[in-house]
Amino acid sequence: MSLPVQNKALHVPELKEIATILQAALKTNFAEAEVTVVDCPDLTQPPFGLSAAGICGSPRLADVGGVPYLMPLVNREKLYDIHELARLVEVPEAFIVGAGAGPHPHVGVNSEMMANIKTGAKAVNGTRIAKINEAGNYHLEKLPSNESRCALMLNMFASEGKSGKVLRVHARKRTGDQNLVSLMRQALEKHYGADKAVGLGGTFRLVSGKAKCHVMPDFSPTPLTCDDQINEWLRFYDFEAPMVFLSTLCSVDPGMDLRIEHTHGYGKDTGGHYHYDTTPDSVEYEGYFNVAEFMYRIDRPTTTHQIGRN
Ligand SMILES: [Zn+2]
């Protein structure tokens, strides 16, 4: 059964122009901030250790499924193979990073997915999942190389995994109350307005400090119908650096029912959905992002709502 797919071309400004906009925004929220255009470092190497070297070549975003498949009640039929998603975004040999829900038939329960996978002939799967196990305890694990599914939803950034020019984002010591990703997204929204959607994807590290993250427990047997209920259901943690995050954002929603920002990350034994750092004085971020040329919407829910999208 083929999945419904639509796509839209995004506005693609020069990296240098975006760097100027983001640096000005970061400086309102961090004591030190710099955004530059650089050659992407080899992301397979420490401290990132991802599944491909770079985030360049046919860069694009996709929003797959959505929160309406998770709540009010879960639809367990919604499973996606990331190799197929790569074909649907027309980059069959793709490096895909992003935030989604793990494959419950393999994991055993609902989970947070930190997607980090190279598809195609030379596949590499560095994807992690974070779950609350049957005993109620937090657990992080790496998926086996042949488990390339996700469930329910995935916000992903795909590229050919090549090296090339990217944005380097560096910020230290937070002076404002914005999280890194919302700050960047809102700066692009403010600059480009409601008619020009600009999408970014990539990775950043929490170099020092702590981040508030959530992990979804197993599927709720009772319907989740508002954000208060969802916050009661979720498990929240303060995770310590170093952590690697995989991130997508789109300045505005060009009428595709998108989740406009979504970031998951992991450390040695930690991982989950990024909310914000909790250590303004000691926080430091370093990240690499590229600009997406297209937004794909795959298996868009026909019945939708706005809850649970933070
Ligand atoms: Zn999430």
- What pLDDT, in 10s, does the model give residues 146-204? 999 999 999 999 999 999 999 999 999 999 999 999 999 999 999 999 999 999 999 99
Is there a contact between 88 and 296 (Cβ–Cβ < 8 Å)?
yes
CATH topology of domain 8-297: 60s Ribosomal Protein L30; Chain: A; (3.30.1330)
Is there a contact between 169 and 289 (Cβ–Cβ < 8 Å)?
yes
Residues with CB under 5 A from ligand 1 (ion): 99, 273
- What pLDDT, in 10s, does the model give residues 5-31? 999 999 999 999 999 999 999 999 999
Q: How far is the CA of 190 from the centre of ligand 1 (A)?
A: 24
Q: How far is the CA of 92 from the centre of ligand 1 (A)?
A: 25
Q: What is the pLDDT of residue 155?
A: 98
- What pLDDT, in 10s, does the model give residues 192-239? 999 999 999 999 999 999 999 999 999 999 999 999 999 999 999 999
pLDDT mean over 130-136: 94
pLDDT mean over 90-98: 97
Q: How far is the CA of 117 from the centre of ligand 1 (A)?
A: 17
Strands (E), the chain: 5-9, 30-39, 60-65, 79-81, 95-101, 112-118, 124-125, 128-132, 138-142, 149-159, 165-174, 199-208, 210-215, 235-240, 243-250, 261-266, 271-277, 284-292, 294-298
Quickly state the pLDDT bin for 2 (edges 50, 70, 90).
confident
Q: How far is the CA of 96 from the centre of ligand 1 (A)?
A: 16
Is there a contact between 126 and 117 (Cβ–Cβ < 8 Å)?
yes
Pairing of strands 294-298, 60-65: parallel
- What pLDDT, in 10s, does the model give residues 238-282? 999 999 999 999 999 999 999 999 999 999 999 999 999 999 999
Indicate if the pLDDT at residue 95 is higher than 80: yes
Distance (Å) of CA 174 to CA 38, 58, 221, 278: 24, 34, 39, 10
**For the packed helices 15-27 and 180-192, what is the interaxial angle rounded to 10 degrees?**
120
Q: How far is the CA of 307 from the centre of ligand 1 (A)?
A: 13
Q: How far is the CA of 112 from the centre of ligand 1 (A)?
A: 7
Q: What is the distance between the alpha carbons of residues 179 and 177, in angstroms, rounded to a whole number?
A: 7
pLDDT mean over 44-69: 98
Cis peptide before 68 (omega within 30 of 0): no
pLDDT mean over 98-127: 97
The whole-chain average pLDDT of the chain stands at 97
Q: How far is the CA of 94 from the centre of ligand 1 (A)?
A: 22
Written as six digits, the tokens of 76 are 């367990």
Q: How far is the CA of 164 from the centre of ligand 1 (A)?
A: 28
| Closest by CA position to 114, among listed 243, 296, 256, 298 | 243
Quickly state the pLDDT bin for 1 (edges 50, 70, 90).
low
Q: How far is the CA of 240 from the centre of ligand 1 (A)?
A: 18
Exposure string (b/e) for 91-123, b if CB count within 10 Å is 16 or more?
A: bebbbbbbbbbbbbeebebbbbbbbbbbbbeeb
- What pLDDT, in 10s, does the model give residues 189-200? 999 999 999 999
Domain spans of the chain? 8-297
Is there a contact between 140 and 129 (Cβ–Cβ < 8 Å)?
yes
Is there a contact between 250 and 295 (Cβ–Cβ < 8 Å)?
yes
